[in-house]
Every structure is written in C-alpha cells, then in structure tokens.
Amino acid sequence: MSENKNNANSANIAILGASGYTGVEAIRLLANNYNYNIIGLTADSKAGKSILEVYPHLNVMNLPDLKKIEDINFSQVDAVISCLPHGKTQKILSDIPKHIKVCDLSADFRFDDIYMYEKVYDKKHEARKLQEEVIYGLTEINRVKIKNARFVSNPGCYPTSALLPILPLIDNNIIQYGNIVVDSKSGVSGAGRTLKENLLFGEVSDSFSAYGLVNHRHRPEIQSQIDKIGSTEYKVLFTPHLLPIKRGILSTIYLNINDKFNLDDVVNCLKDKYSEEKFVHYSETLPSTHDVRGTNICKMKAVFDPITNKIIIISVIDNLIKGASGQAIQNLNLMMGFKEAEGLINFPMFP
C-alpha cells in the first residue's frame, strides 16, 4: 500500500496495467495528489514483481507489488484507472463492482455507437450495457457530465489535441462545412512500452515518418465527437506522424471559416472558451512540445493564411499526461468530488 497521506476523505485507488507508460505516469502524478491512496497495481506478465523492479525511479514511494487483476480485493477500492491495452478492458471493467468510479484509458468505450466501434476495431463489443453509461472524458468540453459519471472513457491523445481547438469553433458556427485537416506528430511513447522493431532507437532516430494514412483509428474518434455537436457535413482528414522524441504531440489543423468571420473571431472564441481553464491555454507565440512537456496542459495558437484563406491552428500536449494519465486524474478528481486540478499543477520540463 502507498504511504498514508493523512486525508480523512481520501479514496483508495487501483491502477490496472500499471507497468506501461500511462500506468507509471498515473503513479507519478498520484504521488502529488493527497486525495488518493494507491492500494492496488496490476500487470500481466510482471505480476508478482515489485513495481520498483520495473521502474526503479519509483524507489522513494511505498507502493504495493504488482498483481493479476483477479487478485485485487475490489471491495476495498473506491476508484480505478485502467491503463489496459485496447481490446482487453470491456469484460474486465464490466465485472468491477458498481460502487467503483472508473476512468478507462483504452479505446474500448470511446464510441457511443457500438457498431462504429466494431467496425473501426474489427472486434465484437463485449459490454453493451455498460457502454450506455459511459461519458467521453474530454474534460473541458464534458465537465458537467463527468462530475456525475461513474464511468469515463478517456479520449485518445491525438483526438485530445485536435478536439480542444476544433469543437468550440464548430459550436459557434465559425468553421465551414467540408474538410477539416488534422496533421499530427507524436513522440514514440504514444505507441506504448511493448517491444516493437519499428520503435527501436536505430529505426526511429534521425527519422520522421507518417503512418496509418486514411485508416488510423483516431480519425473516426475525432469525427464522432464532431458529429455530436456539429454536422456530418464536416469531414476529418487525419494523418499521424512519428517523431524521434520520447513524448509530446503537435497537431497542425487547417480550417476554412465562414465568410462573416475572421482570425479575430477564431482567437476570441478560443480565448473565451478557455480563459478560466487551468489546463488549456491560448498562446501568444507558436507553442512547441517543450512548452507542455511533463504537464497536463494543452496550448494552442491560430494564424491566418491570406493566400489560401485558411485558418491554421497549432495545438500541443504531452501525450502521456493531457493525452492520457493526467486527463484521467483530472476526470477522476471531478468524479470523486475533489478539486479538479489537485495533483496536476506543475511547470513544463525545460530543456
């Protein structure tokens, strides 16, 4: 068990899939959050090991050993962050007791439309009843629903970087119908910790490549959220790229705006939407991944290209924090009735 944080109202939390990058980020962030006691950590092949054998840098924390999920006593658990791989969570999370608040980082519950999920992931949905109560966890957009939720599905990292700037503009009828182009670049940690040949240092270093052209699974996720508040007349073109960096996402978004609007309207819309937000900032300079590394912050800036008459938005996040574990804790804080920003306020790591 993690060390007692002396908070009478603290919640006991278990992290499922704690041996991956998002799992260890959840542990690191929860160390600064006095609302939670980590009482359970699970892994699969690493079950039975100390978490310190997997991540020696956590040696300053008193943490429970890794277990298999079936060995966790869920009667003592108040909240779960699930960092399990896609395709493995539906049955597992369906069996968790209903008193537990759940934030899931996989893609298994991100689609309200079960048939869309089955088409995109080529897999039968195994938790149809549970899907009915799931809230999509884009915090700054769905905050009210998240507060009252028992189960939140965390957005993907790419969709988080794209949807935060796009949705307010659609909601205010600023963007023209037609194509929305999202050109995104991510560090290699976005692919997880599993050994893959194409992610070896010798393969990635000094290289820059696109992947998943026209069929990346985050494209329909972005589209489905736009369809909810806008119109099916918006069509998302999404291309992801792999950068030879460890963490960070930079999305470049190309938009056409309606005739009665201009750049000032775009800027004012984004500033008005996020002016009171702790974790989404409109930047006066072009943001880079360095500006948000190690934080739960999304930074964005819009510019106008007079030659093509397009708005270009740069949006940056840390894929492991605002794109994953940080946003999960932000959501869980809301779900548990804690201060939303608890444990998430820090400065970017630079250089």
Per-residue pLDDT reduced to its tens digit, 313-327? 999 999 999 999 999
Q: What is the pTM of this model?
A: 0.95
Q: Is 269 a catalytic residue?
A: no
Contact 93, 28 (CB under 8 A): no
**Active-site position among 103, 157, 269, 298:** 157
Distance CA 194, CA 328 (A): 21
Distance CA 60, CA 71 (A): 25
pLDDT for the residue numbered 37: 97
CA-nearest of 39, 45, 9 to 27 is 39
pLDDT for the residue numbered 5: 57
Contact 108, 87 (CB under 8 A): yes
What does the pLDDT average to over 81-100?
Answer: 95
The 3-state secondary structure of the chain reads: CCCCCCCCCCEEEEEECCCCHHHHHHHHHHCCCCCEEEEEEECCCCCCCCHHHHCHHHCCCCCCCEECHHHCCHHHCCEEEECCCCCCHHHHHHCCCCCCEEEECCCCCCCCCHHHHHHHHCCCCCCHHHHCCCEECCHHHHHHHHHCCCEEECCCHHHHHHHHHHHHHHHCCCECCEEEEEEEEECHHHHCCCCCHHHCHHHHCCCCEECCCCCCCHHHHHHHHHHHHCCCCEEEEEEEEECCCCCCEEEEEEECECCCCCHHHHHHHHHHHHCCCCCEEECCCCCCHHHCCCCCCEEEEEEEECCCCEEEEEEEECCCHHHHHHHHHHHHHHHHCCCCCCCCCCCCCCC
Look at 6 and 115; give whichever has higher pLDDT: 115
CATH 3.30.360.10 location in the chain: 158-319
Q: pLDDT at residue 214 above 80? A: yes
Contact 109, 153 (CB under 8 A): yes
Sign of CA dihedral 351, 282, 341, 249: negative
User: Is the peptide bond preceding residue 351 cis, with omega within 30 degrees of 0?
Assistant: yes
pLDDT for the residue numbered 1: 46
Q: Please count the other Cβ atoms lying within 10 Å of the Cβ belonging to residue 247.
A: 24
Look at 4 and 181; give whichever has higher pLDDT: 181
Q: What is the mean pLDDT of the chain?
A: 93
Instruction: Give 232-241 pLDDT, tens digit per residue.
Output: 899 999 999 9
Which of the four pLDDT bands, split at 50, 70 and 90, describes residue 61? confident
Distance CA 77, CA 37 (A): 10
Which of the four pLDDT bands, split at 50, 70 and 90, describes residue 193? low
What does the pLDDT average to over 103-118?
Answer: 97
Which of the four pLDDT bands, split at 50, 70 and 90, describes residue 231? confident
Assigned CATH topology for domain 158-319: Dihydrodipicolinate Reductase; domain 2 (3.30.360)
pLDDT for the residue numbered 304: 98
CATH 3.40.50.720 location in the chain: 11-155+323-336
pLDDT for the residue numbered 195: 62
CATH of domain 11-155+323-336: 3.40.50.720
